[in-house]
Amino acid sequence: MILPKIKFKEMTLKENIDLIKWAYYEDNGSLDVHNYTIEYYPELASIESGTSRKKVYKIIEDVVKRDYEKYKTRIEEECIRYSRAWEKYNNKYFETLTKYLDIKWIDNKDEIIATVGLIPVFPRYLDKCSFSVSTGLSEEKIIEVCAHETLHFWWFLKWQEIHPEIPKREYDSPYLTWQYSEMVTDSILNNNPFSDIFNFIEKGYDSFYELKDHEDKKVMDVLRNIYAENIAIEDKINKGFEYVKEILG
């Protein structure tokens, strides 16, 4: 069985700047990325409405470059700390995930890259099997983020096997396929066998927990119960998706 390793590496200055440029203008409806960016870089809050994108980009470049150079050593140290925190879970988790979803990992893909930078949100990139995280995370949080983000890679391998008719563009926000993939991280990681591996409680976007169905049941509770059923993983995935489509479709 091929099992990849997560490799933590420093985000380059350019990568960090480009991510903040994207985040400053992003609003996917489920997560207010723009406001998170302003909270992380308070200097950006003073940018007046109507400022040209070219000028905004120059401000972002200056602000991020200053902080990146100031905290570069910390970024390097966090890569080492995060690697040590995750390494004891790597093989056990990925082996369990492979068996649980009944899906083979990608041939010749022996590393999952996790870039570490000064960022307010943690994007994942399905085509590259990589994701990004910030500095300053607790050991429990970095383990939760690694489990959450890498689950997406295995999940969409399985999803594509079951639903090849759904285009890959719908694997990202704001499509229903993406929403469902973010909801089931709770359903999967808070159920056996994963609840026996980790000590954290997985939590999706806050907005998901406010959703109720026509029987006034909380949608996330119903999904968790579906994934606790003793049925094939394909049946869990499809049953959960049909249920979510009734609520959000």
Per the rule left: phi > 0, alpha: psi between -120 and 50, beta: everything else, 200 is beta
Residue 39: which H helix or E strand, with range? helix 33-40
What is the structure's pLDDT at 1?
A: 74
**pLDDT of 237-248, one tens digit each?**
999 999 999 999
Spans of all domains in the chain: 156-248
Give the pTM.
0.94
At 125, give phi and psi (nearest 5°).
Answer: -125, 100
What is the structure's pLDDT at 30?
A: 57
**pLDDT of 182-238, one tens digit each?**
999 999 999 999 999 999 999 999 999 999 999 999 999 999 999 999 999 999 999
Which token pair is 127?
A: 């085509």
| Full strand arrangement of the beta sheet holding 111-117 | 5-10, 111-117, 130-134, 124-125
